[in-house]
Structure 1
């Protein structure tokens, strides 16, 4: 007995006195160390610096690069909810130990060289809702346990080497929203019967695989689908099922490069498709392809055709004298038209009062040194509405200054602009903005960009032309610009009712009484349409990068207009301080100095706060989500100052720490299932009928402000979801 007691005491003493690494780290941390061990550390081109702070002596992994944690309950330690180690060129396999991370929600390993198959044990991580493994070297069949994840929403396995058939139980992924499998080697027929079960699917991309057989007709029951149904570059055969016409009108098809045959259906969504959707299928015919389908001629039709042919053969040709007479008449007609053209040309030249097409504009009146707009469209270096930008050593650099109209029918002279009454609307890092009332009583907004960039006219003009081509009812129109080496101005429409920021705050700090729920809902719907147009339909597919209430202007009827897109690029071209007082117009328009530095932009996405990060459209989606929350709650999105990242914290973790308090507060409110009355603007409580609509907009805002940009929806999807609310 004494011997047993002494042995037990000795074992306890050994456990206490001998330090143990494994006992100091949480189980989640130990599972993550398996991922670090799975990486080939000897690979010379792998960026293994991501693991430099993965210290096995830490108590938990929550400060490790690429790891996100959360307190899942009030009494538990933080648990790992996200892994984001992307584009590091790591050569590794996926360890099965990751399946023990039961609270893991997001797994993002894209842009590496992970090889082998996906272990079945990974799907024991039952909280997973997003898996991004695209652009790796993964192979083998698709895991049969794929749909054992009850919360799976986003699955992107594209650009790998997966093979074998599509799992027949894919229909069990009831929450799946995005399924992207392009550029693999998956083969076989698409199973039928699974597609009606995918009620939440918004994106399906099966392109560039080895699928064969016919296209299932029940694909037409994917009523949540938006964007593109992409089945291109496969081996599908047979006819296109007409049931696809029942898909939502916003869906576009990509059925290129298959073996499809027969006539393209003409009903429903098919009427909205372009010819490119069907190219590469030699046996397809019908609209919109320029290949009519062959029709079987009846005997009567054949007889009529032969009769008409014989009749045409029996007709005699024209007599030689008649041919000569017709030729002479044609020659006289051409000569007469030529005389008219010459007369109009000289008449127009005289009416320009000395304005020539040499790149020089006329100086006129008492405004010495002020250039007058010259309407000649052939001025070198000055883009007309329908011409491309050219450069020239003289006018190409805007040596004497030019006022260039962007919009046809909207023109005025520079001296008219200088004589007009003007006052300052505001000042920011993007320049001073003035309201200027022209002689005809029309107000315009004039933004002063600065004085520099004199040698970059061609680049500046190209950017201006791209901005000027953006036309949408909810985007501020650019009407003209002025260029000179010492001055750059943008002239756009003046929107009369201030910004959404002033409507939300105003002088009292409280929302305007006019911001009823119906007005707010209209503002967010129309703003979303404008921003989606910038992303999807503009020539450059612009990224705004500064979406906030002060850049959403309102007219007298509270219709919104997105402003100030593309200005960051123009400022970088001018390369000078837009608030400087020099330049040709420096003394003509009033000037103010800022009384205080610009406030930080609390609407930016977490990844936008990382130094050197390149703007993306997902930045705009996040910022728009914060604007939605502000409209719903009436609260301002101030950045938390209680958590300042330590010097050793990674840039990604530092960015995550800068999530606005408003986003955290709303997210926590929904997690704790707080009553809606505790979260919304008290003004909206008066409209009891709006409860369901307010809740629906909250869900859109939460999707927009997902920390992981890969999960955020496209702005087009956001707009479509908002348009469904209240209709």
Structure 2
């Protein structure tokens, strides 16, 4: 009996051991096809030495490999390594959960590899290679899950495969700068997801399908295809004579007349449109001049414009309050006295469409009204993704920043007031609390204290004087840790928000006289319509690009960019809408870490501090963990802050 029990115990133990090691065996089995794939191509501008048999591709150490929840390989992102040769798609069939193949900016050539064998793919990105030849018309017929296809800047010829336009879930299609010819295939009616279509600079001809021309919310680029006609390109199809394009026979006089008539009609239409615009603009300016005379000093948009206004010494809080009493508690443009009756940090509610007044939500710096702002010396600070910013210095010496935001239209005045009062109660040494707001239907003003050192963006990249020289290792660490503390506070305070911040970047981190960072422009998501919210930096994260999703981990990604920006001293191209300019800090950091060249990332201006290099590298790795493409692989905000706090000067 005892022998049976012992035998049963060992059998159970063996089963448990098998279960415990099965994930590792799975990872190792996924390593084999990846290594075969690596060996099938040549690498001329780097290496994939981290791809080794017997190791785990989902350990986070394999360059360019992304895993689904850390369990199975879901993405291959190998760019800018000078890959050449023949891709062995058959090797990748063993990766059951592979969703993304990204091999852009390499030297790959030949016909399009047989990716149709990988039916589970959602993204194929092969831009900027030298692939060539025709693509079979039915190439994509079995790839029903495909959402993104980037074949641009290659040398493909022939017709665009009709099977591409039959994909039911296709969202983005980029075929620009190839040599595709013939007509554009019609889009399947059941596809309601296509948002971006770029077919520019090919040799396409014929009428653009109505299913594309009439599609709303579709960004379509067709320039560089002289043979196209239809509503989408503003060229009448009768103006293109098939005889001329087909047999070289010149057009008939009737065709010439039609073409001339079309041209004349187009010119007349443009002239009429311009005249109408002038009339509308003139009317709007006249109306705004009457209604909003006080805003004229805030209407200057050029950074060189500085408006100096002499402010009478009597323009103080006391004078404003006394004037309020004389007018029955409602002065022209508002009353600070009335505001105080709503409680500490209060203020009256502004009207929905009129001028209203400045509504105080935080009186730590005193109270002021709209007339005080209108009489202040105003200076344009710049334009951001959500609006313009101005510096105003009032008669009592208080310097404030006025942010003019046009797209905060989601909330009515009362709901807007509730949210702003909540922000006005924020108290944290690394979070900038707004002082006041002004509500109008067309635009909103948010007023906060001016910080003497300006923004981190300016000090790090724009200023090369004393302020920049003061960005020592100790100062940079202080800024990073301060930002981390502020973000942790916001994630606790606005835990129920999808994005507690949503727009964290160096231009929204202000610096005090002692370089204490203060986070601004946070918790704005409830104020914005979904279409306007996409101007926020969190909407440039990989998860939104791939799945149109954002979460708390999106803020973690943005914090990671800040950490790497401060440590490297480089301006991230991720901040730019075009992506052109600066440096792709994500790709640069990830490739350098994979090649064990982390020290080359450190800004030379602080890298000579040999005693602190290890702390810098430790912080660098934390920043790199935050920018993982898969949000499930990023640490949460609490863990990120814990890691940052562990770094000592």
- TM-score normalised by length of structure 2: 0.47
- TM-score normalised by length of structure 1: 0.42
Larger Rg: 1
Relative to its length, the structure with more helix (as a share) is 2
